[in-house]
Structure 1
Amino acid sequence: MMQSALGWTVLSRDALRRAETHLRDQDEGVRDEIGFLALHQAYADRFFPGTSVLQTRLRYILFVPWMYQSLAHKPSRSQPINHVVQKQELDLAQRLKKRHGLSDGVIGARSLPKPTSQPPTMIYWNALRTWRILRPQMDGTYPKRSAVHRSLTKQHLPNHLTDDDKSPLEESSTFFVKLPPPPAEWNDKNHPLDFTIQPKEAEFIDQHLRNVHRMGMPKTPSLLACLVEHTVDLTNLVFPWAKPILNLVDKDEHEALLRAQQASALAAIGRAIYAALVERICAEEDKRSIPDIHRANLRRVIRDYRGQALRLDTEAVKLDAFYSLPSSLLDVLNTTQSWLKTKKDFSDLRDVYERAEVTRKGGRARLARTLAGQERRKEWTPEEFPEATPLHYRWSNVQRLLDDLSNHG
């Protein structure tokens, strides 16, 4: 069964993918030495644009712009804008923690009173852009978070123009489309906040999610939009390729979902092969006495996922992805499929897996036939290394977000 996980977003697409990989690795205990998470990101971005493995609750998509609107109306000139925004984020975390505690998706709750390294304004910025809650600029692009901060800084200057109510004439609310009003308690810092989406908020979010298109295809609704439009009950659907979902989508998306399932299976086998290779090298070449954990797991993973993995058309996967997949990963996928057909010893795969790991990790690669590789293996213990599981494509995150929408107040 596929393991669910919570889980990222920064300012550029490339930075987003790098950061998502790093933080998802930490959250799940998964190390991506070979590059299989490129598949995860490619299909997750296709099916669920704007989402991230660090997103927890849907109402943050309103908390963030409401926060910037509040700052625009009550500018503070005593501190740099980044510090002011950080203080607002800490206040938000504290107010949500009062209602929800530590375990209900409150970003930054565990780090209070210190700020979290990935606050909601960063985690949800890509969603604000992709879901078109940010207002496009004159050239059609969407403002970065830093651009909003620069605008707020200008508004804080003593000679900045204001209206009769002393509010800035060029407030940061112009960076956002017309939003539903915040709750009455929004400006009371002592009042707890919660994640319950109110009816007008739900209507607003629903409208924007229905218009989220497939990446690179502005006239084609995304799977995310399709799920919102058809109000699918996702509660008991373990995978996004469950039959009720396959029955909703067009032919192209149907086939892409099946390939995503097959890629998930092949990635599970690939992850298991990597761990088994390291374990065997530690035992046979480094002469360490270690248990047979990952070699045994490889046999189980092959038994469970071989059929799906062999069905994957890797050439079609390249067409599914909005951006290019690493050539080293494609070599691993193709070589692993060929090996699955022969049922030879998995040590035959060391060369291609070693090349892929060295490409990604350099001198930190465990499979490398070097002294550095041997030193890295000394730090490796099979008991602490997670057993291989399939990719999830942010499915549990999407389920939580859409559950928030369907269960609005």
Structure 2
Amino acid sequence: MSLIAWLDTSDEEERSMRELVALFSEPGTLDNLGIGQIRDGLADMLFPGISTVQTRARYLVLIPWTFQRAARRNSGVALVKAADREQREILLALREAGHTQGLIGRVAGAAVRVLPSAIYWNALQTYKILRRETPPQHLLQTGRSTAGEDDASHSSSWSTLPLPESFPDNVAVQGFDLSVAEASWIRERMVLTCEGSLLAYLLSLPAMPDLDVDYLWELQLGEAPQDLLDLVEDAELFSLALLGASLLYNVMVGEAYERLELTSVENPTQWYRGELERWSAQYRNDARALIWDRPRLWRRFPNISPRTRQFVEDWIAGVDNLPVGACADTAELRKLISKREFQNKGAQSRLTNEKQIRLWQGASGASRLQFRWPQAARILDDISEGLDNAGA
């Protein structure tokens, strides 16, 4: 099968395997300092079901339809293979018609190794589009529906829109644009299943706010519930505070890189020292950072590793009283970063492994955490545009 191995693993293990595919193409996801559990946890609270490798909202409609069609004559592995073939045919039809923005497999075509169903399976379960948590090969044959009976009522596995008679032949005409019915249905699924999240709140508003912002905390959320505002603030301040740790890490990697007289990356130490000084000024000028209710953050993560929590607390305590520009040369902070990276990566620690230094390309998680906002914004925009078609 071309799907990522659908073994009888936990949902979390399957999700981790899927997101591993995009790890090295997403600079902000590199977890050199072992903060991924907090990063991913906050992202899950803000945008349940959305991952770093999702692209367009309409896949939430197309994927169930391919599996419903496959289930008419197949079950188990044969069902998955039939759905696999149809997903590849749809891919080629969309590419041929020019619908390439967000197309999974745009470059590889039919040879793509990771299909949309692998990428969206967790989302389908999260939004109860797939009624029960199950891997694809455990789905059963349903038979062909009779006249007047749609596949949604005939198949107990799926809660979805009726399967059109024209599917998949009409996919190339509509592309990734959602119809009003499709957009309304996806919105309903997300709102019903993701209560308390930023995703559900935005979709519940009479009109979508401006999504053209770099970070989720730049959204206009003035009327949001206080619990949600607190969650957004925790994400913003965690992203701000830990950016400094990532920048100091890159300063230290840059120094090791230059000691080896490597030159593919130009003056990395000078660059990251400047970025760290700018971060320090930003952090010191944010009054909220100095009074951040971190116990509120830790209550969100009752099972967090004590080492992870201690690292975050030690980093923040270490920078809170330093003057602007002092972080780069503070021995205690350097020791903290070095120790944490070794705890997290062991023999693959870039600060102790020359081979890893030589492979460095100039940035190791050196950007602010976005908590999957770019992917969420794209999907929200798709839904918003579909809903707007009602007034067209």
Task: Give the TM bin, normalised by the shorter chain.
Answer: 0.7 to 0.9
- Paired position in structure 1 for 2:379: 401
Q: Conserved in 2, the CA contact under 8 Å of 1:234 and 1:399?
A: no
- Paired position in structure 2 for 1:174: 156
Separation of aligned partners in 2, 1:310 and 1:13: 37
Separation of aligned partners in 1, 2:262 and 2:24: 27
Q: Conserved in 1, the CA contact under 8 Å of 2:90 and 2:168?
A: no
Q: Work out whether 1:305 is the aligned partner of 2:283.
A: yes
Q: How does 1:274-293 map to 2 (within 5 A)?
A: 274-283=249-258, 291=267, 292-293=270-271
Give the letter aligned to residue 341 of structure 1. D
Q: Conserved in 1, the CA contact under 8 Å of 2:247 and 2:275?
A: yes
Judged with a 3 Å threshold, the aligned counterparts in structure 2 of structure 1 residues 302 and 406 are, in CA distance, closer, same or farther, namely same
- Paired position in structure 1 for 2:185: 204
Q: TM-score, normalised by structure 2?
A: 0.81
Q: TM-score, normalised by structure 1?
A: 0.78
3-state SS of the aligned residue for 1:176? coil
Runs of 4+ more than 6 Å apart = 161-165, 169-172, 287-290
Judged with a 3 Å threshold, the aligned counterparts in structure 2 of structure 1 residues 126 and 307 are, in CA distance, closer, same or farther, namely farther
- Paired position in structure 2 for 1:4: none
Q: Conserved in 2, the CA contact under 8 Å of 1:57 and 1:105?
A: yes
Q: Conserved in 2, the CA contact under 8 Å of 1:143 and 1:175?
A: no
- Paired position in structure 2 for 1:217: none
Match for residue 391 of structure 1 among 345, 369, 375: 369
Separation of aligned partners in 2, 1:76 and 1:252: 44
Post-superposition CA distance 1:330-359 (Å, at most 9, x none): 222112212212435244323322332223
- Paired position in structure 1 for 2:208: 232
Q: How does 1:342-381 map to 2 (within 5 A)?
A: 342-343=321-322, 344=326, 345-368=329-352, 373-381=353-361
Separation of aligned partners in 1, 2:146 and 2:359: 66
Judged with a 3 Å threshold, the aligned counterparts in structure 2 of structure 1 residues 390 and 305 are, in CA distance, closer, same or farther, namely farther
Q: How does 1:85-104 map to 2 (within 5 A)?
A: 85-102=83-100, 104=101
Separation of aligned partners in 1, 2:381 and 2:171: 28
- Paired position in structure 1 for 2:20: 22
Judged with a 3 Å threshold, the aligned counterparts in structure 2 of structure 1 residues 108 and 162 are, in CA distance, closer, same or farther, namely closer
Question: Deviation at 1:121?
Answer: 0.8
3-state SS of the aligned residue for 1:203? helix
Post-superposition CA distance 1:307-366 (Å, at most 9, x none): 445444433222224x73333332221122122124352443233223322232221112
Post-superposition CA distance 1:36-77 (Å, at most 9, x none): 333321111001111111111111101111011111224499
Judged with a 3 Å threshold, the aligned counterparts in structure 2 of structure 1 residues 16 and 392 are, in CA distance, closer, same or farther, namely farther
- Paired position in structure 2 for 1:331: 310
Judged with a 3 Å threshold, the aligned counterparts in structure 2 of structure 1 residues 238 and 283 are, in CA distance, closer, same or farther, namely closer
- Paired position in structure 1 for 2:110: 113
- Paired position in structure 2 for 1:257: 232
Q: Conserved in 1, the CA contact under 8 Å of 2:56 and 2:382?
A: yes
- Paired position in structure 2 for 1:5: none
Judged with a 3 Å threshold, the aligned counterparts in structure 2 of structure 1 residues 162 and 304 are, in CA distance, closer, same or farther, namely closer
Separation of aligned partners in 2, 1:255 and 1:164: 51
- Paired position in structure 2 for 1:145: 136
Post-superposition CA distance 1:68-98 (Å, at most 9, x none): 1111224499x84443232122112112212
Give the letter aligned to residue 42 of structure 1. G
Q: Conserved in 2, the CA contact under 8 Å of 1:76 and 1:84?
A: no
Judged with a 3 Å threshold, the aligned counterparts in structure 2 of structure 1 residues 201 and 254 are, in CA distance, closer, same or farther, namely same
Judged with a 3 Å threshold, the aligned counterparts in structure 2 of structure 1 residues 25 and 346 are, in CA distance, closer, same or farther, namely farther
Separation of aligned partners in 2, 1:352 and 1:14: 29
Judged with a 3 Å threshold, the aligned counterparts in structure 2 of structure 1 residues 60 and 191 are, in CA distance, closer, same or farther, namely closer
Question: Deviation at 1:194?
Answer: 0.6
- Paired position in structure 1 for 2:300: 320
Give the letter aligned to residue 41 of structure 2. A
Judged with a 3 Å threshold, the aligned counterparts in structure 2 of structure 1 residues 288 and 176 are, in CA distance, closer, same or farther, namely closer
Give the letter aligned to residue 347 of structure 2. G
Separation of aligned partners in 1, 2:173 and 2:22: 29
3-state SS of the aligned residue for 1:235? coil
Give the letter aligned to residue 134 of structure 2. P
Question: Deviation at 1:170?
Answer: 12
Q: Conserved in 2, the CA contact under 8 Å of 1:86 and 1:115?
A: no
Question: Deviation at 1:379?
Answer: 3.1
How many residues matched?
366
